[in-house]
Chains A and B, each alone.
Chain A
Amino acid sequence: DGGITQSPKYLFRKEGQNVTLSCEQNLNHDAMYWYRQDPGQGLRLIYYSQIVNDFQKGDIAEGYSVSREKKESFPLTVTSAQKNPTAFYLCASSIMGQGVETQYFGPGTRLLVL
């Protein structure tokens, strides 16, 4: 089945530690996105990528980094510079261009700081 997978479902980070969240899609979508969601809040864009080896900062990119070496993969690293990383992280993908094509979302990763 086509879709987006995120792993792990839960992730624990120690102080000063970098952690990487995985996002893989087999939908052959060009565009991929990372969002952060705090409890009871909306989605805030961290990074997005429209093509392999290229990505753009979203609204809250500080303390995060990404790579896009393969079309199907868009991992997010939460660095030690991100002082308040506890949140729900959602990865999404979409077809390039306008129109009815929606974003498809993964199941999310909950990141907790120990």
Chain B
Amino acid sequence: AQKITQTQPGMFVQEKEAVTLDCTYDTSDQSYGLFWYKQPSSGEMIFLIYQGSYDEQNATEGRYSLNFQKARKSANLVISASQLGDSAMYFCAMREGNFNKFYFGSGTKLNVKP
């Protein structure tokens, strides 16, 4: 079974609007971490936001927030006030327990329209 599932291969959003990128995960561990990365066309991977499985509040980092629904095993990324520079691939990832192995989803390509 896939550890991380991103069901939206591509998304369009109008500049200045908010957008939600979906991510569901599969684990039987109680302790895990969830990450979102941005990959522009240059190829670099940029860390955006982290959510721990024991964190009671949703993580926020500037315009990025993570909508964490533990019972549904979802960790959706919300980008508020989209900017043209947000156009990129976005990857959801998970790290289980004490393991140092990260699992990545297949990514969502976001296009921000002017």
Name A's B-contacting residues (CB within 8 A). 31, 33, 35, 40-45, 48, 50, 58, 88, 90, 92, 94, 96-100, 102-105, 107-108, 110
Contacts and interface: CB of A to CB of B under 8 A. Distances in A.
Interface in B47-98: 47, 50, 52, 91, 93, 95, 97-98
B106 A41 contact: yes
23 contacts: A33-B102, A35-B104, A42-B91, A42-B107, A45-B102, A58-B101, A88-B43, A92-B102, A97-B98, A97-B100, A98-B32, A98-B95, A98-B97, A99-B33, A100-B50, A102-B35, A102-B47, A103-B35, A103-B45, A103-B93, A103-B102, A105-B45, A108-B43
Given A41-B106, A42-B107, A98 B44 contact: no
Given A42-B107, A43-B104, A110-B43, 14 more contacts: A33-B102, A42-B104, A42-B105, A48-B100, A92-B102, A98-B31, A98-B33, A99-B33, A99-B52, A100-B33, A102-B47, A103-B47, A103-B93, A105-B45
Contact of B52 (A40, A48, A100): A100
Interface of B: 6, 31-33, 35, 42-45, 47, 50, 52, 91, 93, 95, 97-98, 100-102, 104-107, 109
Contacts of A40: 109
Contacts of B43: 88, 90, 107-108, 110
